[in-house]
Structure 1
Amino acid sequence: MVVEEPQEPDIPVTILTGFLGAGKTTLLNRILSENHQYKIAVIENEFGPENIDNDLIVSTNKEQIVSMNNGCVCCTIRGDLSRVLTDLRHKRDRGEIEFDYVVLETSGVANPGPVAQTFFMDDAVAPFFRLDGVVTVVDAKYGHETLDKEAAAREQVGFADRILLSKCDLVSEEEALAMEARLRQMNARAPIRRVDMGKCPVSEVLDITGFNMNDVLDVDPAFFNDDHHHHHHSDDIHTFVYETERPFDPVKFERYIMSLTSVYGPDLLRYKGVLWLQGSDFRVAFQGVHMLAVSDVLGPWGDRPRYSKLVFIGRNLPEEAIRAGMKTCEAKSD
């Protein structure tokens, strides 16, 4: 298994997603108007029915960049994301605009997966922009109905590194807890935060290191405490964790992951873990988006107990078959 040492891009990016009416534009407006230490370039998908508050930006038929009082800038997408990001970078290099962070608001009906892959696969983007994380806003009032009806909304939850639960003031505490339990069943690795009318600390949205290869895999412990086999909702997106105290054969593991992603790639939203590989004294971080998987060395195991732990989040995945496949990748001997 080849472990690469990637170049570190210098511009972090947050993808902000959420289904129509969830409240992501309210949150974005707050970011654009709040005083904070960031100089943020906000890229808005103007083809959706939602738009940035007209007091902040007025939509026209032409591309534009509007400066905010707090040092942020906002632009509209017309065309390819790679080109928009490259144009912004060139404007920054020429001193025409100033920013140190990018927030990309996706359309309410969009699956963020292909957008995220741009930051790993596009040669014009990957060397300069680093995907920090995907933040998904979910409506506590109408979220159940939306998740029941809309596949894109379920994908947005499955893909999230952090989930912001909005409109909790419109539901009872019991209803809010039920929504949180459902979201944890779908995506156990994303912390859930309640937000009120977009009143959310910027630290909950930016610099969350959801795609950081150097963090330790952290699945919400509450996921295992929930009796999530008795929920009333049967979502096609769900989470499961594979753990073993035996090392993986690196060749078998790589071949199996290639086979798994070739067959189930479109339905594998996120997968992430820490690997113990046979013949290596170093921990390896591993994560993937759909068919794209990357790995990196974390450091020596030292005196730590050695293990492998991977979390899979996807759509209608054959959990038992994947577990059996992962089992075949374990080394015969240490």
Structure 2
Amino acid sequence: MSLIPVTILTGFLGSGKTTLLKRILTEAHGQRIAVIENEFGEENIDNDILVADTEEQIIQMNNGCICCTIREDLRDTLSDLAKQKRAGTLTFDRVVIETTGVADPGPVAQTFFMDDEIAELYLLDAIVTLVDAKHGDKQLDERQEARRQVGFADQIFMSKTDLVSKEEADALSHRIKHMNPRAPQKRVHFGDVALKEVFDIKGFNLNAKLDIDPDFLKDDGHAHHHHEHGEHCDHDHEHGEHCNHPHHHVHDDDVKSFVYKSNRPFNPTKLEDFLGSMVQIYGPRMLRYKGVLNVTGMDKKVVFQGVHQLMGSDVGPKWAPGETKVSKMVFIGIDLPQDLFKAGLDQCLS
């Protein structure tokens, strides 16, 4: 049996997860989707879509999708679904896990790497996060779970933009980009999203290209070790978080990102030791990190990525003839000591 792709759908309460999910489940796309729903609060797909009061854990829908509510451990539910798929009692092509609005998606993602049985059955494709344009700023200010949901995301959808001005939506988008520059953002209306923007994103695929918004790199020049500051800046910043540009408010979010680039190759032993020690110390605060590396003595790219303490690497494609061999890394985390990371990475260069 080939690996079953999984999408984690997350977002704060009221951000439109259920609307998006309802659209995915009721659309005639020919895919059979199993939805695993964390029961929490009023947001319950079953009530909305099925209007069925049933004790059954797994409900078949008329378009071939199935819906199950977690009344036990996620791992057990995944294991049970795979067993039924193998036995032929259930047919589905992929799984969507809708987390509760106040959930940190980290532990859900880790289930797919830490548990051997689950890793042999399922392939985590991406974490998709919805942000409510109307309440997003306040939620990001007040709730770390909301900031983590943005930090973990591979794709971000901003909902309810019709309830705010374009300037407000732009300011929120700018803020989110500084928290997570590797996740593309899209503004959506009532869950109106093409399936290809939700599924098969390959956010956890080591060899998927390193998506860092090119405008983010241009934005304040913080991919470089030195840059010019505009007249509106407090000078001492790397990240625009204290930068009083007229186009956005000052938000000192604890979830921040930084990019490291170098044209010099890495010494692989030094780099492994350094990253290993950083993950030991800061792993719980490292949400997502990913890089494409130029390593001494190798004609192929080395790709690495991680979630919290779990880090993996793989040999990627060859550097193309004439391609500039540049290492690019992005780190997204909670109050990570950027200067320490950058100085340590500098020490790992050949």
Which residue identity does 1:224 align to in structure 2?
Answer: L
Task: Give the Cα–Cα distance (whole angstroms) in 1 for the partners of residues 216 and 67 of structure 2.
Answer: 37
Match of 1:5 in 2: none
Q: 1:277 to 1:59 in 2, by over 3 A?
A: farther
CA distance in 2, matches of 1:322, 1:101: 38
**Does residue 126 of structure 1 match 2:144?**
no
Q: 1:187 aligns with which of 180, 190, 213?
A: 180
Please name the residue that 1:307 is paired with. 326
- 2:35 is matched with which residue? 42
Confirm or deny: 8 A CA contact 1:237 1:313 kept in the other structure. yes
How many Å separate the matches in 1 of 2:171 and 2:63?
38
The one-letter amino acid of 1:83's match is D
Residue of structure 2 aligned with 1:240, choices 258, 268, 292: 258
What per-residue deviation string (whole Å, max 9, x for no partner) do you get for residues 65-89 of structure 1? Answer: 1112222111011121111101000
| Matching residue's letter, 2:23 | R
SS of the residue 2:45 aligns to: coil
The alpha carbon displacement at 1:239 in A equals 1.1
Distance 1:297 1:58 in 2: 50
Paired position in structure 2 for 1:3: none
The residue that corresponds to 1:4 in the other structure is none
1: CA distance, partners of 2:209 / 2:142: 34
Match of 1:75 among 68, 72, 83: 68
Gaps of 5+ in 1: 1-7
* 8 Å contact from structure 1 (residues 119, 129) kept in 2: yes
Runs of 4+ in 1 over 2 A off after TM superposition: 55-63, 224-231
Contact 2:46 2:52 in 1 (8 A): no
How far does residue 147 in structure 1 lie from its aligned partner after superposition? 0.5
1:171 to partner: Cα distance: 0.7
Question: By how many angstroms is 1:56 displaced?
Answer: 2.4
Corresponding residue to 2:86 among 88, 93, 100: 93
Instruction: Select between 85-94 and 219-228 the one with higher mean Cα deviation.
Output: 219-228
| Counterpart position of 1:220 | 213
1:232 partner letter: V
Structure 2 CA distance, aligned partners of 1:301 and 1:110? 40
SS at match of 1:124: helix
Instruction: Give the stretch that moved more between structures: 161-170 or 23-32.
Output: 23-32
Determine whether 1:316 maps to 2:335: yes
The TM-score normalised by the length of structure 1 is 0.93
Could you say what secondary structure the match of 1:181 adopts?
A: helix
Residue 142 and residue 263 in structure 1: after superposition, are their counterparts in 2 closer, same or farther (change >3 A)? same
Q: Residue in 1 aligned with 2:189?
A: 196
Alignment check: 8 A CA contact 1:29 1:53 kept: no
Deviation at 1:201, TM superposition (A): 1.5
Residue 319 and residue 59 in structure 1: after superposition, are their counterparts in 2 closer, same or farther (change >3 A)? farther
Q: Is the 8 A contact 2:179 2:332 kept in 1?
A: yes
Counterparts of 1:236 and 1:168, CA distance in 2: 25
Between 140-149 and 298-307, the greater mean CA deviation after superposition:
298-307
Letter of the structure 1 residue corresponding to residue 141 of structure 2: D
8 Å CA contact 2:9, 2:128 repeated in 1: yes
What secondary structure does 2:305 align onto?
strand
Paired residue for 1:296?
A: 314
Report the Cα distance in structure 2 between the residues aligned to 1:206 and 1:297, rounded to whole angstroms.
25
1:281 is matched with which residue: 299, 319, 322? 299
- Flag the 1:280–1:68 CA change in 2: closer, same or farther, 3 A: same
State the one-letter code of the partner of 1:199. D
Specify the alignment match of 2:203 in structure 1. Answer: 210
How many residue pairs are counted as aligned between the two chains?
324
Identical positions, percent: 56
Selected match of 2:45 from 42, 52, 56: 52
Q: Partner letter of residue 294 of structure 1?
A: G
Unmatched 5+ stretches in structure 2:
221-239
Question: What is the alpha-carbon distance in structure 1 between the residues aligned to residue 2 and residue 117 of structure 2?
Answer: 12
Deviation at 1:15, TM superposition (A): 0.3
Q: Write the distance in 1 (CA, Å) between the matches of 2:30 and 2:271.
A: 43
Please report how far the alpha carbon of residue 61 of structure 1 lies from its aligned counterpart in structure 2 after TM superposition: 8.2
- Give the corresponding residue for 1:147: 140
The AA in structure 1 aligned to 2:324 is P
Contact in 1 for aligned 2:6/2:95 (Cα 8 Å): yes
Q: Secondary structure at the match of 1:197?
A: coil
